[in-house]
Structure 1
Amino acid sequence: MGESLVTTQEDRTAATPSPVADGRTVSGSTRATPLSRMRRARPTLRSLRSPRRPRLWFEILLIAVSYWLYSLVRNAVPEQKAEALRNADWIWSLEHTFGLAFEESVNRAVNSVTWLIVSMNYYYATLHFIVTIGVLIWLFRRHPGRYAAARLILFATTAVALLGYYVFPLAPPRLMRGGGFVDTVMLHQTWGSMASGNFKHMSNQYAAMPSMHIGWSLWCGLTICVLATAPWARILGALYPVATLIVIVATANHFWLDAVGGMACLAFGITLSYAWYGSLPHRLPKRVQRPGAGRLRALRRPPARAPELRRGAEPSQPGARGSDPAGD
């Protein structure tokens, strides 16, 4: 007869996994050791830092809440009028020192062309919302793998700007004492600034540094220039922040140094996004898979078929006739 299989009590004990090594109790419940918890945390952090496919409902909610918080915090900064006016005088004298105090000349020259200054008023009031939202939608649809990194740049840029509003209150040129600037919105009665006319009590008038018109427009321009394929789109992307700089100066809503502050905020946002994702947005993959798509595809894939046996050949199985050397 063939050799019989005998399992002793010692063999059963040796085959039973140790509760300490396996991390389980006798009843089968799992106890996570500190080492196992660390191993679980690492993939979670890695997954957060990896590009993921954005979800529409979450992005709409995030943008709405973020802008609401931005407006709330910006307007909650105390309007330190005296300090803001002193800072405006200091900025104006600093620009004179460098021979770059050209805002008043541009403001008066453009104001002499009514249709042009009115167009700039509406540009100032609307395009920084329309274009920024439009670029976010374009990224969401065409570059979902790069969307989160680009969005982080925009959000970080805006967040650090709030610190600037609190630390350095600044009056815009049109509110300076004896500056000679023209408030183009008041003069032409256009809806061009939340800090002029009937809307001046709804917004903090002394939060001019840094300029988020420049921070957002430069983010839009750079994003379009590095990701768009059409030459005309790249040209428009490059011209957009330049046109915005002209508008904020011509309408006397900002000094050109406010634009430098907006650029510094954008640089901070780019640095933070690079540190988190380990790459600039345009170097990340254009598209990413949905979470669990790889596992779902693997489950749907039919199992691999075993190679067919040659005709006449019998399988070699333990216990089949002729396979046991001991015989019957």
Structure 2
Amino acid sequence: MSVAETRAVPALDEPAGRRPALGEVVPTDPWRWVRLGLFAAYGVAYLLWFNAKGLVIDRVSVLISIGILLVIANVGRPLYRWGQLIIDFALYSAMWFAYEESRGAADRLGFPLQVESVRNIDRFLFVGTDPNVWLQDHFFETGAVRWYDVVGSIVYYTHFVLPPAVIAILWATNRREWLRFIKRFATTLFIACAGFVLLPTAPPWMAAGGDDRIRLNALPPLYRPTGRGWSHLGLDGFVRLWISGRDWANEVAAMPSLHAGYALFVVAFFLPWIGNRWIKAVLLSFPVVMTVVLVYFAEHYVADALAGFAIVGFSFLLWNRIERWQRHRRLAVTERELEVART
């Protein structure tokens, strides 16, 4: 028996009342401090990048940053974990590249652009009022940046950071929960992509004539101040990069709203883990705040957000039922095996 094995098993002649120390039962991980040091270096590098260029939000950079984070989390792990990492990361990357391809599919299939239809849903819900127009008329000031502009910019950009960060942390800490998360996440994403292809929708800023390539006037002129708060905080370079980068995005991928949907998604996934009802109420306010921000910034209609909430609800309902069926099936198989073993 090796020295490590003798440490892992308490001696038989020890007093009965003595409890072995954790280090005597659970083998120590010599790579733990190496990983912690690399995580710290990663955090410092991210902060330096943020100070120079702002948040990492374009898909390729996000994939690279997540890949680095997962490699750090895997340092010192068994070989099979590296195989899992390669497969899981490849599938995750393919999922996002498929999302990016939805723009090309929409262009090739040529479904008609929705301009008035979604806006009319909002007008019906709000008794003839356009929420985008009302919010900007009452709160937007061209000559001043208010505190809610800064909060709005921060909330808006959590969409590009929060879901990928949760995915990376879950993979590194609990792959079983990561699988539960990613199944629901991918289902939501692919349903949304189908909506983007079949129902290309002009967002409010575009419907108000904000795109020089397609002149629309379904709404009064609206501002699109998503980066206004970051500029106020001194991150003008980040805002310029964002404005130039969004030209490559699918600008008519508005129905349903993934911004609103994933704000609810992250909260809904972790809500069962939280017992305090006040904390639950605070967390549930996040998708509501995100919706208000999206409408105020003229990025989405309220109907877009409601559609995003609906597909998140569907994905959770679908996988909850599938996983319940799988548990019952495994239980039935186990019971049959036990019956056979008794005979």
TM-score, normalised via structure 2 length = 0.56
Partner residue in 2 for 1:171: 202
Identity of aligned residues (%): 18
Alignment of 1:173-322 (within 5 A): 173-176=204-207, 177-180=217-220, 181-185=222-226, 197-228=243-274, 234-278=280-324
Match for residue 121 of structure 1? Answer: 153
**Structure 2: runs of 5+ lacking an equivalent:** 1-80, 208-216, 328-343
| Superposition pairs of residues 78-157 of structure 1, within 5 angstroms | 78=107, 83-84=112-113, 87-98=114-125, 99=127, 101-112=130-141, 114-115=145-146, 116-124=148-156, 126-157=157-188
Residue 291 of structure 2 aligns with an amino acid whose one-letter code is L
Q: Distance in 2 between matches of 1:107 and 1:185?
A: 13
Change (3 A) 1:128 1:216: same
Bigger Rg over Cα = 1
Deviation at 1:208, TM superposition (A): 0.7
Question: RMSD of the TM alignment (CA)?
Answer: 3.6
Change (3 A) 1:219 1:185: closer
More displaced, 111-120 or 204-213? 111-120
**Whole-angstrom distance in 2 between the partners of 1:273 and 1:142:** 21
TM-score by length of 1: 0.58
CA distance in 2, matches of 1:255, 1:94: 9
Match of 1:38 in 2: none
Assess if the C-alpha contact under 8 Å between 2:132 and 2:296 holds in 1: yes
Question: In structure 2, how many angstroms separate the alpha carbons of the residues matched to 1:229 and 1:272?
Answer: 24
Structure 2 letter corresponding to 1:166: V
- Contact residue 168 and residue 209 of structure 1 kept, 8 A: yes
Select the structure that is richer in helix. Answer: 2
Which sections of structure 1, spanning at least 5 residues, go unmatched? 1-52, 282-328
Number of aligned residues: 226
CA shift in 2, pair 1:223/1:70, >3 Å? same
**In 1, Cα distance between equivalents of 2:239 and 2:317:** 33
Maintained 8 Å contact 2:258/2:308: yes
- Higher relative contact order at CA 8 Å, sep ≥6: structure 1 or structure 2? 1
Could you say if the C-alpha distance between residues 127 and 269 of structure 1 is closer, same or farther in structure 2, counting changes exceeding 3 Å?
Answer: same
Shift of 1:202: 0.5
